[in-house]
């Protein structure tokens, strides 16, 4: 589970996100962002803390072994929203998701493209690289660099590699990047390859 974690620092122990004063609810709404996370499986050795249902952080299905969580983007940390806090803000799940996606472009640092066509690495400050999969306009703007169907892997929170399905060596490149050895496994995400289809992402099951 997740609660608070400091940006670019070691994640804190999972706790429920703090509830700010209702006078600040408008500011809170503007700071809510989505965060791509991985489903935690039993046997990972991670410590789990059981929370009451209303205090549990909210999660939504993304694709494969990835989920979307929602957090308040504070200057030095992210505070994950609980179901109770969502209700206090007057939101339902669909509204929360739409709001977080809408806020995302305004909350992330400058997106940089590294490499050359048809394979790239994208960076965005170290916290949002994987979450760029949810960016509402990024993938259309990348069309000139990635003619065809985008493929992506997010082996960790701060790594996003992309190419296009039509490139003959694309699937092999994606698999290589997905299996990339990480310097810090605390932020590991997925070894799956994802393909963009109808403005969403699905697991590539054709080149496994």
Structural domain of residue 118, as residue ranges?
112-203
| Average pLDDT over every residue of 12-27 | 54
- Give yes or no: residues 52 and 99 share one domain: yes
**44, pLDDT greater than 70:** no
For 97-139, the pLDDT digits (tens) are: 999 999 999 999 999 999 999 999 999 999 999 999 999 999 9
- Give yes or no: residues 60 and 21 share one domain: yes
* Mean pLDDT value across the chain: 86
pLDDT of residue 23: 57
pLDDT of residue 151: 97
- Give yes or no: residues 86 and 181 share one domain: no
- Domain total of the chain: 2
State which of 62, 91, 107 marks the end of a domain: 107
- pTM reported for the whole predicted model: 0.85
pLDDT of residue 184: 85
pLDDT of residue 52: 61
Q: Using an 8 Å Cβ cutoff, are 35 and 70 in contact?
A: yes
- Give yes or no: residues 16 and 85 share one domain: yes
pLDDT of residue 4: 44
Per-residue pLDDT band at 22 (split at 50, 70, 90): low
Output 132 or 1, whichever has higher pLDDT: 132
- Give yes or no: residues 131 and 93 share one domain: no
The verdict on residue 17 lying in a domain is yes
* Most confident listed range (55-59, 100-104, 177-181): 100-104
The verdict on residue 208 lying in a domain is no
């Amino acid at each position: 589970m997740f609660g608070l974690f400091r940006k670019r620092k070691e994640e804190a122990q999972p706790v429920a996100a703090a509830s700010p004063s209702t006078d600040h609810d408008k500011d809170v709404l503007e700071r809510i962002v989505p965060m791509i996370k991985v489903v935690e499986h039993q046997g990972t050795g991670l410590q789990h803390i059981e929370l009451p249902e209303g205090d549990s952080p909210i999660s939504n299905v993304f694709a494969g072994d990835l989920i979307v969580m929602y957090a308040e983007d504070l200057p030095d940390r992210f505070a994950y929203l609980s179901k109770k806090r969502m209700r206090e803000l007057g939101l339902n799940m669909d509204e929360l998701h739409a709001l977080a996606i809408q806020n995302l472009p305004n909350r992330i640092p400058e997106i940089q493209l590294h490499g050359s066509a048809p394979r790239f690495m994208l960076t965005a400050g170290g916290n949002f690289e994987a979450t760029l999969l949810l960016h509402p306009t990024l993938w259309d703007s990348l069309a000139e660099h990635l003619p065809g169907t985008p493929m992506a892997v997010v082996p960790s929170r701060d790594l996003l590699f992309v190419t296009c399905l039509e490139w003959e060596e694309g699937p092999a490149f994606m698999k290589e990047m997905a299996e990339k050895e990480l310097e810090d496994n605390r932020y590991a995400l997925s070894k799956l390859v994802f393909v963009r289809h109808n403005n969403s992402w699905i697991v590539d099951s054709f080149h496994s």
